[in-house]
Chain A
Amino acid sequence: MNTPVIAAEGLSIRVDGRTVLADITVAVAPGEIVTIVGPNGSGKSTFLRALIGALPPASGRVIRAPGLRIGYVPQKLAIDATLPITVSRFLSLPRRVPQDVAAEALARAGVPDLANRQMTDLSGGQFQRVLLARAVLERPQLLLLDEATQGLDQPGSAAFYQQIEEVRQDLGCAVVMVSHDLHVVMAASDRVLCMNGHICCEGTPEVVADAPEYRALFGTGTRGALALYRHQHSHSHDDDCGHDHGAEHMHQHGDR
């Protein structure tokens, strides 16, 4: 394996005196897609927040590759309605970015026309894509996504994952994401970590789906999700995404 972009060694996190994560050891290789699954309260978001440095380790450590650029998409971002801010201003925080860089990031995230819109006027899907654009602004080597498709419907989140895959191919960045969309996740990942306060099991999606620890948490029903992931569909979309809808692929919708 190449030198990891980021790694946790025996990482434990305590929040309010309670151990939320215990003894996590993980290394993420360049370009790898690692997905973290696990029940609510299993410490998935905590793990990502520890990786960006928002939570200090109680023991163990986080090792970053020197000069590592991280793009982070938080779980939820509620912008107060009293705060007027345009998309391009939002991208220029805390450091101002040149307009062409912002435009390129927005295009990469699939929302090229939103620069002058108010953040509070965006739809859920557009909002998440703007967050993705923000995360890829500095061409990160590591993209961290915390349930980035929360609040999106199924076609919306499938399209979003498709976008992430394109971004990864574009930038060659590693991706670590937390997700509840087991269907998509299990097929789109190189490696799956099943987490419940510690790492229950890990491996390729096939290995994890068969692992008794995974089945104990999620049941056996999701095994079939792998088969569901790739499918045919030929209905039409009233959007302008401009590609053939008959082929085998994931959905892509232009958000309106």
Chain B
Amino acid sequence: MLDDFMIRAALAGAGVALASGPLGCFVVWRRMAYFGEATAHAAVLGVALALALSAPILPAVVLAAVLMASAVTLMRGRGYAMDTALGVMAHTALAAGLVAVSLLADVRLDLMAFLFGDILAVSRSDLAVIWGGGALVLGLTLWRWSDLLIATLNPDLAHAAGVDPRRAETWLTLALAVVVAVAIKVVGVLLIAALLVIPAAAARPLSGTPEGMALGAAGIGGLSALAGLYGAYLFDTPAGPSIVCVAALSFIVTTLARGLVRGR
């Protein structure tokens, strides 16, 4: 069954969506959308690093993402606003990554595949990495769910309840780095943040509890991946962007539906 590239693509898309849905809720609640974007951009630098050192791509990307998070924290400590720190670091990482890749003259690299994903070329080993990384992130998020939630609501409340909010922040940063690393193949560096933010935002109007929203985000993300792939097959459009378009469509639908219900 796994011999069919469409089946592998569907499994890859669904795997990434299931992990990025609940994590994406935290990205939305904590207003970290741009932080997710910066982490994704840092991945390009990680890819270049991996190619230069002939190292495996996954750990290199995670390392680059963690370095990015530390650099942003450092800049914040020096009095820069969050958006300035992220704006500087995100685009520096993207530009430096592209330059570094071009300097690796002996490596023929399909840059478009990294920027926009190449879900139809997912191999069995890619699939193993995606489901492994996705399971890790999902497990981490569920295991620390209550701690992450209270730290997101208010760091001082977390302290008073015996939860260290800085640890929660570290968990989220690491989880974000892993999701970015496994999602590159599926939607590419430029659209990963969309897969985090849009399903969560689309699930918001349908949800009354944080858990409901996480479940909804995973479901909407998974369905978007499948429907996007089908659309890409039907209309011969690029797969990654098609998935994001379907997610955006579901966001519009749930938002309008909520508006209609409220308007009555």
Mark A residues whose CB is within 8 Å of B: 49, 52-54, 70-72, 74, 77, 79-80, 82-86, 89-90, 93-95, 118, 134, 144
Interface size range of chain B in the complex: 20 to 34
How many A-B pairs with Cβ below 8 Å?
69
Dominant SS at the B interface? helix
**Is A72 in contact with B160, judged by CB distance below 8 angstroms?**
yes
When C-beta atoms are compared, the residue in chain A nearest to B149 turns out to be: A93
**Is B160 in contact with A52, judged by CB distance below 8 angstroms?**
yes
The answer, yes or no, to whether B82 is at the interface (CB within 8 Å) is no
Residues of A within 8 A of B209 (CB): 84-86, 89
**Is B213 in contact with A70, judged by CB distance below 8 angstroms?**
no
**Is A80 in contact with B150, judged by CB distance below 8 angstroms?**
no
| Known A84-B204, A93-B150, A93-B153: A54·B210 in contact at CB below 8 Å | no
Identify which of B29, B30, B150, B153 gathers the most chain A CB atoms within 10 Å of its CB: B153
A134 to B156 CA separation, bound complex (whole angstroms): 13
Cross-chain contact of A84 among B31, B150, B154, B208 (Cβ < 8 A) = B208
When C-beta atoms are compared, the residue in chain A nearest to B163 turns out to be: A94
Tell me how far the C-beta of A219 lies from the nearest C-beta in chain B, rounded to whole angstroms. 31
Identify which of A71, A74, A80, A83 gathers the most chain B CB atoms within 10 Å of its CB: A83
Cross-chain contact of B208 among A54, A86, A95 (Cβ < 8 A) = A86
A110 to B188 CA separation, bound complex (whole angstroms): 52
**Is A80 in contact with B29, judged by CB distance below 8 angstroms?**
yes
Q: What are some 8 contacts across the A-B interface (CB < 8 A)? A: A72-B160, A74-B156, A83-B213, A89-B209, A94-B158, A94-B162, A134-B157, A144-B160
**Is A70 in contact with B210, judged by CB distance below 8 angstroms?**
no
The 5 closest A-B pairs by CB, nearest first: A72-B160, A54-B159, A94-B146, A93-B150, A83-B29
A82 to B203 CA separation, bound complex (whole angstroms): 10
When C-beta atoms are compared, the residue in chain B nearest to A74 turns out to be: B156
A49 to B159 CA separation, bound complex (whole angstroms): 9
| Known A93-B149, A94-B149: A82·B28 in contact at CB below 8 Å | yes
Within 8 A of A (CB), among B119-174: 146-147, 149-150, 152-163
A70 to B162 CA separation, bound complex (whole angstroms): 10
Residues of B within 8 A of A83 (CB): 29, 152-153, 210, 213
Extra contacts besides A80-B29, A134-B157 (12): CB < 8 Å = A49-B159, A54-B155, A70-B160, A72-B156, A77-B157, A83-B213, A84-B212, A93-B153, A94-B146, A94-B149, A94-B150, A118-B208
Residues of A within 8 A of B207 (CB): 84
Residues of B within 8 A of A77 (CB): 153-154, 157
The answer, yes or no, to whether B38 is at the interface (CB within 8 Å) is no
A80 to B204 CA separation, bound complex (whole angstroms): 12
A140 to B163 CA separation, bound complex (whole angstroms): 17
Residues of B within 8 A of A54 (CB): 155-156, 159-160
Identify which of B28, B157, B162, B204 gathers the most chain A CB atoms within 10 Å of its CB: B157
Cross-chain contact of A93 among B28, B31, B146, B159 (Cβ < 8 A) = B146
A49 to B155 CA separation, bound complex (whole angstroms): 10
**Is A94 in contact with B155, judged by CB distance below 8 angstroms?**
no
A84 to B161 CA separation, bound complex (whole angstroms): 21
Identify which of A74, A82, A134, A144 gathers the most chain B CB atoms within 10 Å of its CB: A82
**Is A84 in contact with B213, judged by CB distance below 8 angstroms?**
yes
Residues of A within 8 A of B153 (CB): 77, 79, 83, 85, 90, 93
A37 to B184 CA separation, bound complex (whole angstroms): 54
| Known A74-B156, A77-B157, A80-B31: A95·B146 in contact at CB below 8 Å | yes
A118 to B156 CA separation, bound complex (whole angstroms): 21
Residues of A within 8 A of B180 (CB): none
Residues of A within 8 A of B158 (CB): 94
Tell me how far the C-beta of A118 lies from the nearest C-beta in chain B, rounded to whole angstroms. 7
A26 to B159 CA separation, bound complex (whole angstroms): 21
Tell me how far the C-beta of B74 lies from the nearest C-beta in chain A, rounded to whole angstroms. 14
The answer, yes or no, to whether B201 is at the interface (CB within 8 Å) is yes
A54 to B146 CA separation, bound complex (whole angstroms): 19
Tell me how far the C-beta of A127 lies from the nearest C-beta in chain B, rounded to whole angstroms. 12
A74 to B151 CA separation, bound complex (whole angstroms): 13
Tell me how far the C-beta of A26 lies from the nearest C-beta in chain B, rounded to whole angstroms. 19
When C-beta atoms are compared, the residue in chain B nearest to A134 turns out to be: B157
Residues of A within 8 A of B157 (CB): 72, 74, 77, 134
Residues of B within 8 A of A89 (CB): 209-210
Tell me how far the C-beta of B218 lies from the nearest C-beta in chain A, rounded to whole angstroms. 15
**Is A52 in contact with B159, judged by CB distance below 8 angstroms?**
yes
Cross-chain contact of A82 among B29, B150, B159, B208 (Cβ < 8 A) = B29
